[in-house]
A and B are shown apart, each in its own frame.
Chain A
Amino acid sequence: MVPLSYYLVLSGILFVCGVLGFLIKRNIITIFMSIELMLNGVNLSFVAFAAQWHDLRGQVFVFFVMVVAAAEAAVGLAIIIAVYRTRETLNVDQVNLLKL
């Protein structure tokens, strides 16, 4: 018997960790991982709600989220590679041409 809110709190923690990672990490790849972490947190709450309401649609949404995550990872990593090729760094603080 685990209350639903435990799962929600867990997913919240994961999500917050992801956001924090996005904020404090400098490495583009790590930042991407943080995004994946956030997505996982969201997935957890999806599945938890699905279990709560005995409604499979929550799980179906998890699949869609995974698909989007996969696509995003593919493109994002390709972008990272391209960026590294031109700027020779993975530090987002040094990839800031888009200013003023």
Chain B
Amino acid sequence: MLHLILFLFFGAICVAGAVNLLVQSHPINSALSLIVVMASLAAEYLLLGAEFVAAVQVIVYAGAIMVLFLITIMLLNAGKEEHTKGSRVATLIGVPGVAIGAVLVAWTLVGRLSTTHSVSIGALWGAPNDIARLLFRDFLLPFEVTSVLILIAIMGAVVLASRPEAIARRHHSTAPPQESRELVATGKDH
């Protein structure tokens, strides 16, 4: 009973945050509501007995990734989004499609209500040790592959985010400044 109440509580927060992400027009608010969603999701994970996942969810998602988003928003000083009518397809085809898909899925799910025990906090079948055992034994190869993926992502991010003239300067240290200004101009004029 308590379990159900908690689930509904955090679920409500989740949905509220998700909807708020949609309705808010300023990216900062969207980001914050997303953080709320993630935090309450972590609570849901706790309800499901996945403590480690919950902790990592908070640390990685809420603590790191969303901070990246926040930094980007601040850096680019993104303002309210203007409501341009760029794409009729998205509204005329996409939204109905999503609605149909959602309805279908919900229908199937509700049609097959399978009651199941959910583990409450403390019942430690998802202990970090077991996860580590899985992660470093059975899933070693995917683990390594993802690590390589991360590495590549880091390098790509560095290359992408560093200014072209910065790269040029790194390559040959005596790059005249006006050249870099030209680069910026060419970058900006289309």
User: What is A's interface to B at a CB cutoff of 8 Å?
Assistant: 1-10, 12-14, 16-21, 23-27, 29-30, 32-34, 36-37, 40, 43-44, 47-48, 50-52, 54, 56-57, 59-60, 62-64, 66-75, 77-82, 84-86, 88, 90-94, 96
Contacts and interface: CB of A to CB of B under 8 A. Distances in A.
Main secondary structure of the interface of B (DSSP, over half): helix
Interface in B2-19: 3-4, 7, 11, 14-15, 18-19
Given A24-B90, A51-B50, A60 B131 contact: yes
Q: Ordered nearest first, which 7 A-B pairs have the shortest CB separation?
A: A93-B86, A71-B153, A78-B160, A17-B18, A78-B157, A78-B161, A93-B84
A74 B82 CA distance: 25
12 contacts: A2-B3, A2-B4, A21-B22, A26-B86, A27-B27, A33-B27, A33-B31, A64-B139, A67-B146, A81-B72, A86-B190, A88-B188
Contacts of A19: 94, 98
A39 to B, nearest CB: 9
Contacts of A63: 53, 56, 131, 135
A1 B153 contact: no
Contacts of A23: 90-91, 94-95, 98
Contacts of A32: 69
Given A9-B110, A27-B78, A36 B34 contact: yes
Interface residues of B, number: 90
Contact of A75 (B41, B90, B95, B160): B160
Contact of B157 (A21, A30, A75): A75
Interface string B64-100: 1100110011011010011111110011001100100
Contact of A5 (B19, B109, B119): B109
Nearest to B110: A5
Nearest to B114: A4
Nearest to A87: B190
Interface of B: 1, 3-4, 7, 11, 14-15, 18-19, 21-22, 27, 30-31, 34, 37-38, 41, 44-45, 47-50, 52-53, 56-57, 60-61, 64-65, 68-69, 72-73, 75-76, 78, 81-87, 90-91, 94-95, 98, 101-102, 105-106, 109-110, 112-119, 125-126, 130-131, 134-135, 138-139, 142, 146, 149-150, 152-154, 156-161, 163, 187-188, 190
A21 B44 contact: no
Given A20-B98, A27-B27, A91-B84, A47 B53 contact: yes
